[in-house]
Chain A
Amino acid sequence: TQLLEQSPQFLSIQEGENLTVYCNSSSVFSSLQWYRQEPGEGPVLLVTVVTGGEVKKLKRLTFQFGDARKDSSLHITAAQPGDTGLYLCAVRWGRQLTFGSGTQLTVLP
């Protein structure tokens, strides 16, 4: 069983649509991060959330940390082709930095 479950695994939408992807666990975390990975590159940090219920906005991206600090969501408003990529959530688990399996998002023009 994976520590972090991400859903959906794949998502293909048209430009201008809204979407939400999820990162869930049965464990409680002190913080959670979201990364985006573009083809042929390493993941790049988007945001870190640390407080239960916290909402952070990054332009058209809205990140929320669950009240119980077990889950998180990423909502994209009016998606654009430049949003295409693999979205990964990650947590520090002991000394390890552990990632979910990711959501592969494709935004079609």
Chain B
Amino acid sequence: DVKVTQSSRYLVKRTGEKVFLECVQDMDHENMFWYRQDPGLGLRLIYFSYDVKMKEKGDIPEGYSVSREKKERFSLILESASTNQTSMYLCASSSGLVAFFGQGTRLTVV
């Protein structure tokens, strides 16, 4: 069975903290994506990666960075968390048209 695993389902962090969200896939997919999901706004792409060490900005990269040192792992980093980054974060991987998602991380920044 295909699997995309996000390290945490729920996370509470303080303003100004550096936050790491981890995502691991077991399908040997080239492409990995980080989205945030807010009510009424759908899924907005933050960053994606099409190969190890390769990354491209999505639609809303400000305040975020990413790391892909190994093919199976894609990390999203909030350099200095702010309250407006409170959201649901979804990781996905794909090798073609089909994307497989993790279960999401609900991050609250207080």
Contacts and interface: CB of A to CB of B under 8 A. Distances in A.
Interface stretch (B63-71, B73-81, B98-106): B98-106
Interface in A63-89: 88
Contacts of A41: 103-104
Contacts, number: 58
Given A9-B40, A40-B103, A101-B41, A92 B97 contact: yes
B103 A42 contact: yes
Interface of B: 4, 31, 33, 35, 40-43, 45, 48, 50, 56, 58, 90, 92, 94, 97-104
A92 to B, nearest CB: 6
20 contacts: A2-B42, A41-B103, A42-B90, A42-B101, A42-B102, A43-B99, A43-B101, A44-B101, A45-B99, A45-B100, A48-B97, A48-B98, A88-B42, A88-B43, A95-B48, A96-B56, A97-B31, A97-B45, A100-B42, A101-B41
A96 B48 contact: yes
Contacts of B98: 33, 45, 48
Contacts of B40: 9, 101
Contacts of B92: 42, 97
B41 to A, nearest CB: 6
Given A43-B101, A45-B98, A102-B43, 6 more contacts: A48-B98, A90-B99, A95-B48, A97-B33, A97-B92, A97-B99
A99 interface: yes
